[in-house]
Every structure is written in C-alpha cells, then in structure tokens.
Amino acid sequence: MNIVYDNIIFSLQKYGGISIYWKELIKRITLKKNVTFFESINNNIFSKEIDIKFNNESNLSLQILRYLPFIKKIPKNSIFHSSYYRICTQKYVINITTVHDFTYEYYRSGIAKYIHIWQKNYAINNSDGIICVSENTKKDLLKFLPNIEESKIRVIYNGVGKEFIQLNNPHQYLKNEFKVLKEKTYILYIGDRSSYKNFDIAVKTMENLNNYSLVVIGGQKFTANEKENMKNIINRVYHFRGVGGAELNTIYNNAFCLLYPSSYEGFGIPIIEAMKAGCPVISTNISSIPEVAGSGALLVDDITANNFIKEIKKIENIKFRDELIDQGLLEVEKFSWDKCFEETYQFYEEIYERKLS
C-alpha cells in the first residue's frame, strides 16, 4: 500500500491546530514503508520538528496550487491524503480527506467563504474515506452535505502531545521572554481572535478581574481596534506568538486557568493540552467542546463575561481547583496521538481493501 502525503498546510499557516494534527501523523507514518511526502519550503514552526525527505509537487505559486487537484503523477492504487482539502484526480488513486470543522460555513462571509466551501465540498464529494475529528463535526458534515454515504465517514479524535505534562516547581521554567510572567497570576487565552472565538468577551471578563493578567498565545498582532477595546486592561496583557510545544506546556503549568470562550470548535486541541498539563479549563457548553472536555472542565451555557467570572471565582477555592485538575487528567486519558494515528492507518487499510475489492 503506497501512501502519499500532501503537506500543503505547512505552507498555508505558520502554526495552528491543523498543523499540529498533520505533524503528529507524519511523525508516526514515517515508521511505515512506501510513504511519499510532498511539501514546499515554509516557515511553519511544527514542520521544523520533523525530519523527512520531501518532494516538490510543482513550481506553481501557492496561491494557485492550493486550489488545484494534486498535480504530480503518483503510483496506481496509492492512498492520497492531503493536509488541507485537496484530492488527486488521477485514475485508481484512493482519496482520504480530514474534516476539522465548519467555521467558514457558520461564521465567515464574502468570497473567501464561498471559495473555501467549494474546495472543501469538492474534496469531500470526491473522497473514498472521510475522517471527522469529532462526532459534532460528523453531525455538521451530514447537515451540510446530506448526500454523503455515512459508511465513508470515520470519527477519529485528535490527540494531545507527550510534551504536555505537569511540572514540579513550574516557575523555574519561565525563561527568556516568558520571565515577565514569573510574578503574575494570569488567565490564558489561546488561538486566533475571529469573531466566534469571543475574544471581546474574554476582555470584558478580565475588566472585572483586577488581580489577574491576561496572556494571549497565537493569532495575529493586536489590531488598533483590539487595543482600544483593551485600554482598561492593556497594562496587564501579554501576547506571545510562535510558541512551541515545550514552551506552551510551561505557560499552561503556570496559568491560573485556560479561558476558552469559543462559540464553535471542530475539536478544540487547547482544551486537552491544558487538562494534560494540569491547567483548569473554563469554556462553553457548545459544539464539540462538551464532547472533548467531558467533566474535566467548567462549561457555561450562555457566553457572557458574568458567567465566566462566576466559574473563575469557583476555582479560587484551592480544593475545588485541585479536584477539577484531577478530573481533567482523567478525561484527557481518552486522547493520544498514537491512538489517533493507529485508527487513521486502520482506516486507510479498510478503505484500500474496500476499493480494491
């Protein structure tokens, strides 16, 4: 069984949840035979963590290539798995697509939304096997594309990195640019700040929690509008970008909690990273989040600053906070990248046998 991996996600983003997912699959697929990788030179922080020999697909610009079917000729009956909604249209190639979420369908607008939806739908409709990262994502898939045969779909949960562990005396690991956090009690916000991520609610929450700083990880630089909205707390906001796994583990370990106020997630990797690092999680009882967090996090039904403040106040009780951490550690045992890869490879074999028979 030949397997071809299209690593285009590493060129499309510098960091992000899909890059983490793809890096973890690559780390494990390299132990198998007959695997070929296609990739371009990129600045992705996670691609630097893996050492693979890769081929160049084409000299076309990324802006064109990303929307085209895979160009390079590959062996007959190969499994082709793209990291971001591309397929191979060559005869006798078996296509696998991973669907992470439906944020564009729910929350985006304009031409970018419709281009993305067209590309995603084309990939899904022309795939032999479809991986969804949660039951909620599968439900959304069947809502937007009810014509898809359910037998083609497999729910395979994301994992959580082995670098996320509880540290003894975690303050000692706050070095270099993170030294500034040593004397701070901070609440953590991770990810981009798209409208559905509700960063504005996080800011309103912090306005009423004067004893805490806000640490923001990832996303673009703050806009002028964001700075204006944060003017009442700007002197206790710290923003770090391009943070690797080991550094992120240190930040989780030193955080009072992770505040994850998102209205929608296909999975929500930071939730399980935080729980595995012993960082309490406060999030929302929406989309895939309760499916992933289980009883290991405090979840609100209505996304308001007052509701988040109430939950944050609860974990100021040390006994309650410790109990929540322990519950999170139990919940996160359900997730591992080894399990994710094993189920993914088994799915390749099943679809391969199904197609050949």
Mapped to the 3 state alphabet, what secondary structure does 286-322 carry? CCCHHHHHCCCCEEECCCCHHHHHHHHHHCCCHHHHH
pLDDT for res 84:
97
Instruction: Provide the β-strand partners of residue 283.
Output: 299
Q: How does pLDDT run across 69-98, given as a tens digit for each residue?
A: 999 999 999 999 999 999 999 999 999 999
* Residue 165 resides in a domain: no
- Residues 298-315 have a mean pLDDT of 98
- Residues 323-337 have a mean pLDDT of 97
Residue 66 burial (CB count, 10 A):
16
pLDDT for res 94:
98
Instruction: Provide the β-strand partners of residue 190.
Output: 217
- How far is residue 218's CA from residue 339's CA, in Å, rounded to a whole number? 27
The model's pTM is: 0.93
Asked if 197 contacts 191 with a C-beta cutoff of 8 angstroms, the reply is yes
Helix (H) or strand (E) holding 269: helix 269-276
- Residues 321-341 have a mean pLDDT of 97
Please check whether residues 175 and 254 belong to one and the same domain: yes
pLDDT for res 150:
96
Q: How does pLDDT run across 230-249, given as a tens digit for each residue?
A: 999 999 999 999 898 899 99
Please check whether residues 80 and 110 belong to one and the same domain: yes
Helix (H) or strand (E) holding 224: helix 224-229
- How far is residue 219's CA from residue 242's CA, in Å, rounded to a whole number? 9
Helix (H) or strand (E) holding 283: strand 281-284
Please check whether residues 272 and 181 belong to one and the same domain: yes
* Residue 57 resides in a domain: yes
* Residue 285 resides in a domain: yes
Please check whether residues 122 and 235 belong to one and the same domain: no
Whether 280 has a pLDDT exceeding 90, the answer reads yes
For residue 297, give its domain range. 170-334
Worst-scoring range by mean pLDDT, 34-48, 253-267, 296-310, 312-326?
34-48
- For residue 19, the 8-state DSSP code is H
Q: List all residues 6 or more positions away from 286 whose beta carbon is below 8 Å from its beta carbon.
A: 262, 263, 264, 303
* Residue 164 resides in a domain: no
**Beta sheet of 186-190, edge-to-edge order:** 237-240, 213-217, 186-190, 257-259, 281-284, 298-300
Q: List all residues 6 or more positions away from 159 whose beta carbon is below 8 Å from its beta carbon.
A: 24, 335, 336, 337, 338, 339, 340, 341
Q: What total number of domains does the chain contain?
A: 2
* Residue 144 resides in a domain: yes
Q: How does pLDDT run across 118-155, given as a tens digit for each residue?
A: 999 999 999 999 999 999 999 999 999 999 999 999 99
* Residue 106 resides in a domain: yes
Please check whether residues 149 and 175 belong to one and the same domain: no
Please check whether residues 136 and 263 belong to one and the same domain: no
59: helix, strand or coil: coil
- Residues 268-286 have a mean pLDDT of 97
Task: CATH number of the domain at 245, please.
Answer: 3.40.50.2000
Please check whether residues 179 and 285 belong to one and the same domain: yes
Please check whether residues 284 and 327 belong to one and the same domain: yes
pLDDT for res 15:
86
Whether 38 has a pLDDT exceeding 90, the answer reads yes
Please check whether residues 236 and 270 belong to one and the same domain: yes
Please check whether residues 81 and 27 belong to one and the same domain: yes
Q: Which of 103, 20, 110 is nearest to 286 (CA)?
A: 103
Please check whether residues 342 and 325 belong to one and the same domain: no
Please check whether residues 100 and 176 belong to one and the same domain: no
Question: What value does the mean pLDDT of the chain take?
Answer: 96
